[in-house]
A and B are shown apart, each in its own frame.
Chain A
Amino acid sequence: MVMTGGQANAVASAPSPDAMVIEHAWQALGTVADPEIPIVSIVELGIVRSVRLAGVSLVVEITPTYSGCPATEAIASAVDDALNARGISSKRIETRLAPAWTTDWIAPEAKRRLREFGIAPPHVAGARVCVAGISPLRRMAQVACPRCGSTRTHLVSQFGSTACKAHYRCHDCLEPFDHFKTF
């Protein structure tokens, strides 16, 4: 394509067609809810790692949260459906393992919504103390009850309704709740 000066200026001030397709794709992905926690999207959870164009094909990289998470395949097919619905049919969905998914990638807004939904959100993973094999029952970080805010809570089980959550109970309001584990 021969580009005149005027067109070059137009390109500089408006997004390129490629950038628009990518932006369009991100918007579509933003509507894909996590199958097990439908109040947050897979983009907010940090599951979508990148969106790019390879020739005419869109390449979406997603990362598994837990390696055995049964939602992984459902997420890939939901991504496919969401992009098809926006008319993006030429695409590849790839899995990326590294860097490994961390709850630090969950958007602050999504953490707030998790709490409102009754799930205590994760802490910052870097702050997690990991000392070789030592006193596992004592070094669990405090988890605040999402209902009453009390930190007088205790761990019932390392695993709650899904692999990514632990099961807690509040001593003040006496309610059980899920904690999205720091990972």
Chain B
Amino acid sequence: MNTRAAPPLFEYVLRFADSDLVLAQRLGEWVGKGPAIEEDIALTNVGLDLLGQARMWFAYAGEIEARHNGRGRSEDELAFLRDGPAFRNLLLTEQPNGNYADTMARQFYFDQWQRLALDALSSSRDSRIAEIAAKAVKEVAYHVERSAGWVIRLGDGTPESKRKMQAALDDLWMYTGEMFVPDAVEIGLIETCTAADVRNLRDRWLSNVRVVLDEATLSVPGGAWMQGADGRGGKQGIHTEHLGHLLAEMQFLPRAYPGLQW
């Protein structure tokens, strides 16, 4: 579809769009299966926020694409008609739901990162990015409270909930590295004050995570090896085996019935 290489700004905006969309889809998988009706509703509402944010990013990505090569894809085309390697979401967001501790650990790491990243982006030189980020960060502030609250309740809960919460945090730890490693796409945009310099966010993220884990009587995982932190991860379109399955479910309808209207 694209004859010229996508501009860095398109790539960058797509990363936020895709992380939001993929995590929203994961949260949507909980619909009707939550452990209590309040949780079912809450997970869906967090997913809905992320889907709304994804739409704002996709709309902007489409406009950037149109400026670049004359035709920009619609939100739906970007969401439903790209294959796995074209997705730019963080590896963390595509990890399966697992048990409730797994879902909350994934959300907690992501929420803590997203809040810092959006906060930094709300002063981006790119006014559209700044507007979307300033809007989204208010929603994410609630997401952080919620996921941190669950990490504390499960961690400082029963022996079984504590064991599961710690295991979930440990299992997902290796997917948190790539969040703080900028690649060439990001570096160029950091230099023009367009992108958030994620290198500066790591210490704050870690200290925010640590405060919650301390209160939860849990330990900060210690593994040093990080998946995708070598520049071959989700942001570059190299995914874990889970993304394809997620896309198969998410994209089936619009691909089987092209142009179908609701």
Contacts and interface: CB of A to CB of B under 8 A. Distances in A.
Interface of A: 64, 66-70, 97-102, 130, 132-137, 140, 156-163, 167, 181, 183
6 contacts: A67-B53, A100-B138, A132-B204, A132-B207, A132-B211, A159-B146
A69 B48 CA distance: 7
Nearest to A138: B215
Given A66-B49, A70-B48, A158 B215 contact: no
Contacts of A132: 204, 207-208, 211
Interface of B is mostly: helix
B28 to A, nearest CB: 12
A67 B215 contact: no
Interface string B118-157: 0000000001001110111011011011101100110000
A100 to B, nearest CB: 4
Given A97-B131, A100-B134, A158-B146, A133 B48 contact: no
Contacts of B19: none
Given A136-B148, A158-B142, A68 B52 contact: yes
Contacts of B50: 68
Interface of B: 38-39, 41-42, 45-46, 48-53, 55-56, 112, 127, 130-132, 134-136, 138-139, 141-142, 144-146, 148-149, 152-153, 204, 207-209, 211-212, 215
Contacts, number: 95
A120 B42 CA distance: 19
A157 B144 contact: no
A68 B52 CA distance: 4
Contacts of A158: 42, 142, 145-146, 149
When A and B form their complex, which 10 residue pairs have the shortest distance between CB atoms, in order from nearest?
A68-B52, A133-B208, A67-B52, A68-B48, A157-B38, A159-B45, A136-B145, A159-B42, A98-B131, A97-B131
Nearest to B215: A135
Nearest to A63: B135
A132 B191 CA distance: 27
Nearest to A101: B135
Contacts of B152: 136-137
A83 to B, nearest CB: 24
